[in-house]
Structure 1
């Protein structure tokens, strides 16, 4: 028999490339129910299903609950990123910005730091600060460049001032 995680992953794998709808939500909910309503990981999966189906307002409350219940270091940053993204989509830009800024400051070496930066950039752009958003995205990209770190970092900092 497959583990709980394997069954969750199988649902997501089957849904890859397809529109997530009520069927996927129901399948995730059924598997999540095995762990009960107070399991952070189960609540996180339920949130992700709704988020993927475009039901961000429902997902927001579930992400918050999952984080409050506690998640491991693999899923906690994912929940923060996905919550911030959903908050952006429902217009809660201040809270989304606070989440990504805190995540970047508290976990600067996280394997999810680039994803945090992308959501940070999107939130800034949605907040009317597109140059600052571009700066954040460029600064996330700089470490991946084979050369030009110093100059591109300087340009990224310079462009951030264009929104002021």
Structure 2
């Protein structure tokens, strides 16, 4: 881990949404150390806006970070956070499209499925949302995974 990455890690440990101006200022100091086209810095700048409830400002920053090419650890995190921000501003169709392309891994676990379930619910697809959530939960149930998967597959959307 580089010194910059360690300072980012410490920033997030101490981050508070109580003092928006100070939080933005502290992150700005960190990202100003990097090139304008640094995907990690762009991702962190997007993340702090998202953290502060400024999803509309975070969305183009997440898109830029993704275009610039994030490392394999940050890539799914950025995709999930972009999709979550899109869902929060009412763009559920795009959020669903992004989340359906994110695969679970050791860093994010099944967070992609949790956020997909939320987006599906917001899109008026509660049956699909419940199905996704139950299948994600089923992975953690050694004795009942088969039963939960079966019941999840049997869910139909309400008319």
Q: Which bin holds the TM-score, normalised by the shorter protein?
A: over 0.9
1:117 to 113, 116, 119: 113
Task: Count how many residue pairs are aligned between Structure 1 and Structure 2.
Answer: 157
1:13 maps to 2:51: no
Structure 1 runs, 4 residues or longer, greater than 4 Å off: none
Cα distance change on mapping 1:20 and 1:46 into 2, 3 Å: farther
State the match for 1:28 in structure 2. 27
1:46 maps to 2:45: yes
State the match for 1:83 in structure 2. 82
State the match for 1:59 in structure 2. 58
SS of the residue 1:162 aligns to: coil
CA RMSD of aligned residues (A): 1.5
Taking structure 2 as the reference length, the TM-score comes to: 0.92
Give how far 1:60 is off: 0.3
State the match for 1:128 in structure 2. 124
CA distance in 1, matches of 2:117, 2:94: 14
Question: Where do 5+ consecutive residues of structure 2 fail to align?
Answer: none
Taking structure 1 as the reference length, the TM-score comes to: 0.90
Structure in which a larger fraction of residues adopt helix: 1
Give how far 1:162 is off: 2.6
CA distance in 2, matches of 1:29, 1:147: 49
